[in-house]
Amino acid sequence: MLKLNLPPFDINVKKVNGRASVFDPIRRKFVAVTPEEWVRQHFVNFLLTEKGYPQTLIANEIQINLNGQKKRCDSVIFDRKLTPAMIIEYKSPDVNITQAVFDQIVRYNIVLKVKYLIVSNGLSHYCCRMNYQDQTYEYLQDIPLYNDL
């Protein structure tokens, strides 16, 4: 698979029912390797190993109800009170991060109202902190450490 702008690690890949699959430690099962899943696994590993995010407070493929439609957030990070604190949207490395991609995560945030939004295609990562009081957001230079959320 493609080299990403994320730290490499020993990713657990094997064939399951004739398809290449990767072990997702968050969901505790093997899932099909897609370019988006490749990005997810590398990004989650980065959060765990480099940013101190507790594995037990990360959830992948969280279903939400948005205006009567079922949608799935790629990853949601929870604070220690189990309140959603961050939504992460992953894209394939060949997908450019555009305003339309960012709008997708903003729509999910209508439901969850988190402090942080991240969009990554594994090559570029964008993180912003929401300011609900001023109805604004600020792009951050780096992904925050978990203890800084």
Which pLDDT tens digits describe the chain residue by residue (149 residues)? Answer: 678 999 999 999 999 889 999 999 999 999 999 999 999 999 999 999 999 999 999 999 999 999 999 999 999 999 999 999 999 999 999 999 998 998 899 999 999 999 999 999 999 999 999 999 998 899 999 999 999 99
Q: How far apart are CA 89 and CA 96, in angstroms?
A: 13
The length of the chain, given as a count of residues: 149
Q: How far apart are CA 38 and CA 3, in angstroms?
A: 10
Q: What is the pTM of this model?
A: 0.95
What domains can be seen in the chain, in order of their start residue? 35-148 (3.90.1570.30)
CA distances from 34 to 7, 80, 101, 149 (A): 18, 31, 18, 30
**Structure-block tokens of residue 26:** 């968050």
